[in-house]
């Protein structure tokens, strides 16, 4: 992308369909879709996604250190300042992006979706909006930059999970008074880190999110999807206040091929549906991705939890295919960033079976 073209995009200037595609190399994960990409990058991405079949989900952050579920701050009502201290224990010394991408490719997965920022607001990427991040931890690494490079090397699409409806650190994130009981931990007395009453301004949080998503879409090369989470919060009140339509338009202005999802759909203008565990009925004919996890009781690493074996995981893949959906299969890396050994074995066996017998037939 030229500097002039980038400036046009950031300024919101209208551009002809395919303009950016003509000026940029086809993303590595879209090789084979060059002709369609030249005409309509987003259509090419949708077609790729329909054919992708299988992806790797990863929930990793400071919650992994405690190994008690990614909602540990909420469930145990850990004060904001106390929880923030986990950053000083985040080393990620065995997070190996190339090994992870190679593992996914060997399992016949076509893309990776990673938690760039979960509900606790810890960021795995370099951001100018917060110091609660991996580069500002003892790890001193931008894990998203490393994974982006590895995905390009292995021809995988890179999708960014981003917590939209919830943030348990930002002072102006949705609060329980207006947005229901799951927006924030139920602290008693109220946590002093949060803004309350007339001092609370959701618009400040929305600007924060827009700035971070802009960073994600301008610092790491082509992105396959922005995968938003926390939909229960806007649905619990006046969801128009989140101005998601403006956010979607901004996302699509930055990268013409990027797809947008928000679970079962907030506006109806999402590019695909992404429900948990089971499919959903949708007459629109949009692509669908079912996300589920190799660990039975959490998405982030839970010490001592049960994990699916290859037979069970293949059944999840068959069930998704029966609904003409992709399967996004999650693993929660251990505190040091390595992948749980049993999940490594399961994914390797899935890859062997798919290479031998092919993907399960779609419904």
CB neighbours of residue 215 within 10 Å? 18
Measured in degrees and rounded to the nearest 5, phi and psi for residue 322 equal -65, -25
CATH superfamily membership of 48-357: Glycosidases (3.20.20.80)
Q: Return the pLDDT at 20.
A: 43
> 25, 37 in Cβ contact below 8 A?
no
Average pLDDT of the residues of the chain: 93
Q: Return the pLDDT at 142.
A: 98
Q: Which residues is 329 bridged to in the sheet?
A: 56, 292
Q: Return the pLDDT at 159.
A: 98
> Which of these, 30, 162, 159, 154, lies nearest to 97 by C-alpha position?
154
C-alpha 172 chain-centroid distance: 22
Q: Which residues is 260 bridged to in the sheet?
A: 226
d(CA 6, CA 26): 17
Tokens of 193: 């880190």
pLDDT at 16 over 90: no
Q: Return the pLDDT at 114.
A: 98
> 331, 340 in Cβ contact below 8 A?
yes
pLDDT band at 14 (very low <50, low <70, confident <90, very high): very low
Q: What is the pLDDT of residues 77-115, one digit of tens each?
A: 999 999 999 999 999 999 999 999 999 999 999 999 999
**What ranges make up the beta strands (E) of the chain?**
54-58, 111-117, 157-163, 225-229, 259-262, 289-293, 326-331
pLDDT band at 21 (very low <50, low <70, confident <90, very high): very low
Q: Which residues is 326 bridged to in the sheet?
A: 289
Q: Return the pLDDT at 181.
A: 74
The CA-to-CA distance between both ends of the chain, in Å, stands at 40
Span 173-200, average pLDDT:
94
d(CA 325, CA 320): 5
pLDDT band at 24 (very low <50, low <70, confident <90, very high): low
Q: Return the pLDDT at 19.
A: 39
- pTM of this prediction? 0.93
Q: What is the pLDDT of residues 245-264, one digit of tens each?
A: 999 999 999 999 999 999 99
Q: Which residue has the tokens 């400071």?
A: 62
pLDDT at 152 over 70: yes
Looking at the chain, the whole-number percentage of residues with pLDDT higher than 70 is 93
pLDDT at 271 over 60: yes
> 264, 275 in Cβ contact below 8 A?
yes
Q: What is the pLDDT of residues 281-340, one digit of tens each?
A: 777 889 999 999 999 999 999 999 999 999 999 999 999 999 999 999 999 999 999 999
Span 112-138, average pLDDT:
98
Q: 17-26, 147-156, 235-244: lowest mean pLDDT where?
A: 17-26
Q: Return the pLDDT at 284.
A: 83
> 329, 313 in Cβ contact below 8 A?
yes
Q: 18-27, 39-48, 194-203, 239-248: lowest mean pLDDT where?
A: 18-27
Q: Return the pLDDT at 352.
A: 98
Span 12-24, average pLDDT:
41
Span 155-166, average pLDDT:
98
Q: What is the pLDDT of residues 135-150, one digit of tens each?
A: 999 999 999 999 999 9
Q: What is the pLDDT of residues 272-298, one digit of tens each?
A: 999 999 888 777 889 999 999 999 999
């Amino acid at each position: 992308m030229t500097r002039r073209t980038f400036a046009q995009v950031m300024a919101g200037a209208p551009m002809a369909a395919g303009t950016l595609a003509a000026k940029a190399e086809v993303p590595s994960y879209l090789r084979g879709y060059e002709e369609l990409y030249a005409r309509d990058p987003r259509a090419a991405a949708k077609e790729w996604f329909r054919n992708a079949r299988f992806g790797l989900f990863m929930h990793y952050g400071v919650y992994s250190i405690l190994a008690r579920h990614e909602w540990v701050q909420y469930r145990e009502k850990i004060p904001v300042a106390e929880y923030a201290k986990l950053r000083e224990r985040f080393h990620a010394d065995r997070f190996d992006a190339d090994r992870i991408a190679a593992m996914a490719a060997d399992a016949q997965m076509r893309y990776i979706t990673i938690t760039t920022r979960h509900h606790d607001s810890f960021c795995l990427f370099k951001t100018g909006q917060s110091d609660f991040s991996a580069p500002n931890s003892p790890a001193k690494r931008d894990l998203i930059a490393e994974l982006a490079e590895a995905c390009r090397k292995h021809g995988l699409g890179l999708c960014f999970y981003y917590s939209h409806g919830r943030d348990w650190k930002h002072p102006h994130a949705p609060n329980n008074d207006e947005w229901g009981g799951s927006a924030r931990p139920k602290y008693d007395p109220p946590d002093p880190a949060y803004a309350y009453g007339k001092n609370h301004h959701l618009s400040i949080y929305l600007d924060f999110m827009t700035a971070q998503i802009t960073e994600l879409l301008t610092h790491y090369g082509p992105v396959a999807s922005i995968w938003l989470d926390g939909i229960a919060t806007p649905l619990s009140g006046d969801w128009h206040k989140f101005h998601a339509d403006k956010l979607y338009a901004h996302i699509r202005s930055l990268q013409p091929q990027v797809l947008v999802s928000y679970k079962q759909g907030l506006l109806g203008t999402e590019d695909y549906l992404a429900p948990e565990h089971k499919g959903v009925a949708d007459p629109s004919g949009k692509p669908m991705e079912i996300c589920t996890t190799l660990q039975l009781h959490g998405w982030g690493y839970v010490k001592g939890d049960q994990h699916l074996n290859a037979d069970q995981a293949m059944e999840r893949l068959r069930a998704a295919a029966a609904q003409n959906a992709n399967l996004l299969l999650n693993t929660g890396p251990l505190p040091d960033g390595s992948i749980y050994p049993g999940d490594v074995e399961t994914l390797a066996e899935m890859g062997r079976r798919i290479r031998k017998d092919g993907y399960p037939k779609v419904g």
